[in-house]
Amino acid sequence: MALLLFLVGTGLQSAWLLENTLEGMGDRLEISVYLTDGTDAIQMQTRFLQVAGVERVEWIAKEVAWQRLQADLGEDGSALGLNPLADELRVRAQDPVGAVAAQLSQFPGVEEVWYAKEALTRLQELRQALTYVSVAIVGVCTAIALATLVTTIRLIVFARRREIEILQLVGATPRWIYLPFVMQGGSFGLVGGAIAWAVLALLTRALEPIWAVQPELIRSLTGGSLFDWRTRWLLPLVLLGFGGLVGILGSLLAVNRFARRSPDLNLAEGG
Amino acid sequence: MKGSGWDDTSAAVQLWAVSKTYGNGATGLRDVTLEVFAGEFVFVTGHSGSGKSTLLKLLYGAERPTAGRVMVGGHAVPDLDVVGLARLRRHLGLVFQDGKLIPQRTVAENAALALKTRGYGRREIERRLAAALKLVGLQTKAHCFPAQLSGGEQQRAGIARAVVHTPQLLLADEPTGNLDPDNAWQVVQIFKKLHALGTTVVVSTHDETLVRAAKHRVIRLQGGAIAGAAAPLSVSAL
């Protein structure tokens, strides 16, 4: 049970991490437009702003870009010689970004248009695949946990069969007899959920220092989702709720057969 | 059917042409017709294998008849579902040869089970428990576990559980089978006290001495049928 819930929790955290990453990339969906030499960047900036879907256009002069590149490269920058860069217009656009980029590439004076379409598509595919794999794993683990729980509860019922028979003889209804077993199943689930959450919380804490030394880009893309409100509050609720549900469902399945059966006790002996 | 009421206007027990054959072909009962009226004290006697236990099991719904009709407290027992049967049993008191006590629970806890399943409150449980334990002479053993009691005391603890809710019908299946004559007579005296309070009592036993001493109506079974029965209601009274 705890293993199932640990896998559920891991899957959920991974999905949230990817979701945050996608949202982070979505925020950065900028189109870089490189202009041919001699094109008036300010004039192009004005024309781009009139295109539907364009929210903002920032001009980065090739001299500025050149200075930034040289600063990044340090001493090696001087070996590059003359400035090979073109004027760039950074366009922030609404979705669909591809349509806006296609439109911008039609303008005369535009040499090249580039945006992070490929990476975004791959991440979306990854999220989709992760969702399918998670659902499959959780499904299989749930079935295993249910089977284990049903067997466990049935063994407990079997071990207490004499007591149950006596309760039946004194007029206890099936609900009165089997409710404690259902509650026991539910408590198994809750304990499993608590264990899974504790392990996940410990792992997350252990990852914290590793996370802190990752490049700024990775940290900013994922929006610090390792420790966001979902991990802190939603995850334990999901784990406890799902655990309790599986526990109750499993124990109901286990006792249903006994509870519906008319007592056929064969208790009395003799003639 | 989920009937739970007890029909006081009809006979406590009615069997019409009841037969019971087990899966292995063994005959439990053959064409038994009888009636036990409310407030009666009846012994069911016969040798081992004569059908005494089968008869009682049919009455408390642990077995279903192969043929015929079994009515208890106005209810057709085989027609009751699990809940209906549980509710009917709340009007019964059941006593078995081995007491059927839960070893992990004290005498008081065992006896209180019958009250807890009926939803009695703590005070009412305490009040009834005290009276029941006094009736069977186990006031001082309330907190003992079954393993700490003698055979006779265990049987009396089982009787306390069976009578604590003042049942309409007490069914006792060989209650004295494991007891010495003194303890057996003590048990019969408890049943007599309960009978005096208005409970219908049906006791199966093979102890003819006890039956003769008790002086109540007797139903004799032989090979699953009522012994010497020419007529359907074949009952001999001592």
User: B174 and A176: CB-CB below 8 Å?
Assistant: no
**What is the nearest CA distance from B196 to chain A, expressed in angstroms?**
22
Candidates B49, B50, B117; nearest CB to A167: B117
Structural domains in chain B, CATH included, are 38-51+91-237 (3.40.50.300)
pLDDT of residue A186: 92
Read off the tokens for B133: 């334990």
Among candidates A163, A169, A260 on the partner chain, residue whose Cβ is nearest the Cβ of B82: A260
State which residue of chain B sits closest to A266, comparing Cα positions: B62
Each residue's pLDDT, cut to its tens digit, for chain A (271 residues) gives 787 888 888 877 777 777 777 666 665 567 889 999 888 888 889 999 888 888 889 998 888 888 887 777 776 666 667 777 888 898 888 767 778 888 888 999 999 888 876 677 777 787 788 788 878 888 888 888 888 889 988 898 888 888 999 999 999 988 889 999 999 999 999 999 999 889 988 888 887 777 777 766 566 555 555 667 777 788 889 889 999 999 999 999 988 877 776 554 433 333 4
pTM over cut 0.80? no
B174/A268 CB distance under 8 A: yes
Residues of A in contact with B177 (CB under 8 A): 270
The terminus-to-terminus CA distance of chain B in angstroms comes to 39
CA distance A269 to A160: 20
On chain A, the residues whose CB falls within 8 A of the CB of B56 are: 268
User: Mutate which of A165, A168, A169, A261 to disrupt the B interface (most B C-beta within 10 Å)?
Assistant: A169
Nearest chain A residue to B114, by CA: A170
What is the number of other CB atoms lying within 10 angstroms of the CB of residue A104?
23
Domains and CATH numbers, chain A: 29-115 (3.30.70.3040), 119-260 (no CATH)
Nearest by CB to residue B118, choosing from A167, A171, A268, is A171
Residues from chain A that touch B90, judged by Cβ atoms under 8 A, are 170-171
Nearest beta carbon to residue B53 from set A167, A168, A271: A271
Task: Supply the pLDDT for residue A268.
Answer: 36
| CB pair distance less than 8 Å for A271 and B118 | no
Query: With an 8 Å Cβ cutoff, is A179 touching chain B?
Result: no
Indicate the pairing of strand A110-114 with strand A30-35: antiparallel
The number of beta carbons lying within 10 Å of the beta carbon of residue A66 is 16
Question: Measuring CA to CA, how many Å separate B81 from each of B3, B58, B92?
Answer: 9, 14, 17
Please tell me which of the candidates A170, A173, A270 has its beta carbon nearest to residue B53. Answer: A270
Q: Which H or E run includes A110?
A: strand A110-114
Q: Which two tokens stand for residue A44?
A: 């192009």
The yes-or-no verdict on residue B2 having pLDDT over 60 is no
Residue B238: the pLDDT is: 36
Distances (CA, A) of A26 to A21, A23, A85: 8, 5, 27
State whether B94 and A169 contact (CB < 8 Å): yes
